[in-house]
Amino acid sequence: MQLKLILKDGTEVVGKSFGYFSQKKNVSADGEVVFNTGMVGYPEALTDPSYRGQILVLTYPLIGNYGVPSDQALRHVSQQLESEKIHLRGLVVSEYSSDYSHWRAKKSLEDFLIKHRIPAIQGVDTRALTQKLREHGVMLGKIIPVDAKFDRSMAFSDPNINNLVAEVSCRKKEILNPKDKRVATVALIDCGIKHNILRSFLNRGVRVIRLPWNYDVSKLREKYDGLFISNGPGNPKLAIQAAESVRHVMKESKPIFGICLGVQIMALAVGADTYKLKYGHRSCNQPCTDLKTGRCHITSQNHGYAVDAKTLPKGWSVWMKNENDGTVEGIRHKTKPWFAVQFHPEASPGPEDAAYLFDEFVELMAK
């Protein structure tokens, strides 16, 4: 069966279906079309809640050759993936390999897509498509059967007008305890958290109080040593309640750490501004320089918004910057124990150059 991806500017790309699709029901999938340049990491990308509402184009030419690991979860924490389900709306690749081999593989990529009812297209020049998205910027798109009727006047669904954080955050408070001796307790605002962040805390002996994105931290009864704001999808300005919780904790001068959407929410909490990038950063090889030490980290990234450096208030400074385009990759308060980064120090996938940031945060909480 053939499918086509239609972009809002009228571009049509035709390929062969290899995921879920029901022609009888004339099912369509629409969202924001974005690209990722990573050579590996499709299982992690598929299950990353930050891709909520998006159609993902992978530039690496061969996808599926190492299958998908087990999606087993323990107390709502996936043991190998980044959440318990696929969050993106569709997948576009150059060539799909149904013949997979890896010691952790439990199923094929196609079987994984079918289980979660996600359509996918193969046989597409994804690098040419990526060039178009780089020149124009991310666009809305729709995946439909190749022979389905499509009226140009039909509206494209824009996921960014919705509060996507509310769709992917946990629904209620839960407490996760480490196996080994507890060294600290973190109150964690779940905006669509990657599960390797949870594993990174638990493996360091940190007790996690996982909270919904709109939980009023001022009413939290349990004692905690610091606050963490997670990654997540969409426009950070729609996560107002999370920013309010950050402001409350700042009054107590407790350590605060944020990742990805977390840096944007922290910036908004102190009065700075954010803006949408032309095509975002989604890869495993983004170079980011620590302006204090001069050290350059190779980082894993997945975001479409950024902090406006010019709007940071007194007492705050740009800590990390992206060497490709100069955008803000980290902010830090000059005297308080508050810092956040735009990239993913927990990796999964990608390099672990910046994993030490978890150690620095845990050390601050344990004081």
Residue 25 confidence (pLDDT): 62
Mean pLDDT (whole number) for 329-343? 98
pLDDT for residue 154: 67
Structure confidence by residue, pLDDT tens digits, 116-165: 999 999 999 999 999 999 999 999 999 999 888 777 666 788 999 999 99
**Active-site residue 363, yes or no?**
no
Nearest to 119 by CA among 93, 137, 140: 93
Place of tokens 């999808």: 233
CA distance 317 to 319: 6
Asked about 346 being catalytic, the answer comes back as yes
Structure tokens that stand for 285 in this block: 């090889």
Determine the pLDDT at residue 17: 94
* Structural domain spans, the chain: 2-161, 164-366
Phi, psi of 35 (to 5 degrees): -130, 155
At residue 161, what is the residue type?
A: I
Cis peptide before 119 (omega within 30 of 0): no
Q: In this predicted model, what pLDDT tens digit does every residue of 27-53 receive, in sequence order?
A: 789 999 999 999 999 999 999 999 999
| pLDDT for 220 | 97
Per-residue pLDDT, averaged over 211-232, amounts to 97
pLDDT at residue 337 tops 70: yes
Query: Which position among 170, 191, 260, 288 bears the catalytic label?
Result: 260
* 91 SS3 class: strand
Rounded Cα gap, residues 94 and 60, in angstroms = 8
DSSP H helices in the chain:
42-46, 109-115, 126-136, 164-168, 195-202, 240-251, 261-269, 356-366
The yes-or-no verdict on residue 23 having pLDDT over 80 is no
Q: Which CATH fold would you assign to the domain 2-161?
A: Glucose Oxidase; domain 1 (3.50.30)
The CATH code of domain 164-366 reads 3.40.50.880
Per-residue pLDDT, averaged over 189-193, amounts to 98
297 is catalytic: no
pLDDT > 90 in the chain, percent: 91
Q: Is the pTM of this model over 0.75?
A: yes
Query: Coil, helix or strand for 313?
Result: coil
Distance separating alpha carbons of residues 7 and 137, to the nearest angstrom: 12
The mean pLDDT of 186-205, rounded to a whole number, is: 97
Residue holding tokens 């350059």? 296
pLDDT tens digit sequence for 304-318: 999 999 999 999 999
